[in-house]
Amino acid sequence: MGAPTQVRYTLTMSCVDREGIVADLTTFLRMLGAWILEASYHSDQISNLFFTRQVVSATSINTPFETLRARFAEFAAIFGPDVEWNLHNDAEREKVAILVSNELHCLHDILGRAVMDELPMDVVTVIGNHRSAEAIVNAHGFDFNYLPFPARDDPDFETGQAAGFDRIQELVAASGAETIVLARFMRILPQSFCEPWRGRLINIHHSFLPSFVGARPYRQAHVRGVKLIGATCHYVTSDLDAGPIIEQDVLRVSHSDTIADLVRKGRDIERLVLARGLRSHLERRVLLDGDRAVVFG
């Protein structure tokens, strides 16, 4: 799990759109001697915001990284008080925590990709509310924390649910995680959990949102007789299955497919959509635009 052979800095920025932003930004990078490897831009006509992602070669800039951050902070101020930006050293891999329940196909896929170094991240902990994931996690050499939640008919359900999420936050904080992935974690997260992780809490929903939100979407799809099923990778907000969408895909199905067939076929597309969405997030390709996400390819 070594660092990339060519160290790169990734800059992302959004601000109120105006004339001359690209010229100002490229002039600043040119003054640093930056060798631009990738450059993406988007001007949104609805929100009147400008978005950019720039990747530069670290070896082309003869400035310590923290000094570079300070210089860019001063420069970014010219774009107004609402400017949002981030400068990331790609040699520093993202620390990721994974939450999972009993459906383990997405967990299998993510851990396999992590072991093969296909994703620029370090899995720092896996938390499950069932023990079914423990053997898989241990076999891949990662840390597993079992954290049961009370059943819904338990008289202490509300208290136990709140305590469970408090404990998850403690475990995540102790792990140093910077991003949380819900790999089919079948619990509705409270607002107090979602808000601090805005833009860093990723879920895979087994439906092509906004269709069939909530539980049992494959059953809902079967009842409606749909001819396409899909999966959606999105950021989690306090509104159920309504956060900014990062990645989606669909698969054609037939009237002859049973609910079990839809579930089996859907698992394949869930794996791929989560992996693609997670990679976009890790590579700083996703910028938030209110309830929407700008995703640079």
Q: Which residues are catalytic, by number? A: 241
Specify the residue for token string 């070669």: 57
Q: How many CB atoms lie within 10 A of CB 291?
A: 12
Of 22, 11, 10, 13, which is closest to residue 51 (Cα–Cα)? 13
Specify the residue for token string 């309830």: 291
- Is the peptide bond preceding residue 210 cis, with omega within 30 degrees of 0? yes
Distance between alpha carbon 83 and the CA centroid of its chain, in Å? Answer: 22
Two tokens, residue 5: 């052979």
Two tokens, residue 126: 């896996």
The answer to whether residues 60 and 34 touch, using CB atoms and an 8 Å cutoff, is yes
Of 106, 98, 76, which is closest to residue 143 (Cα–Cα)? 98
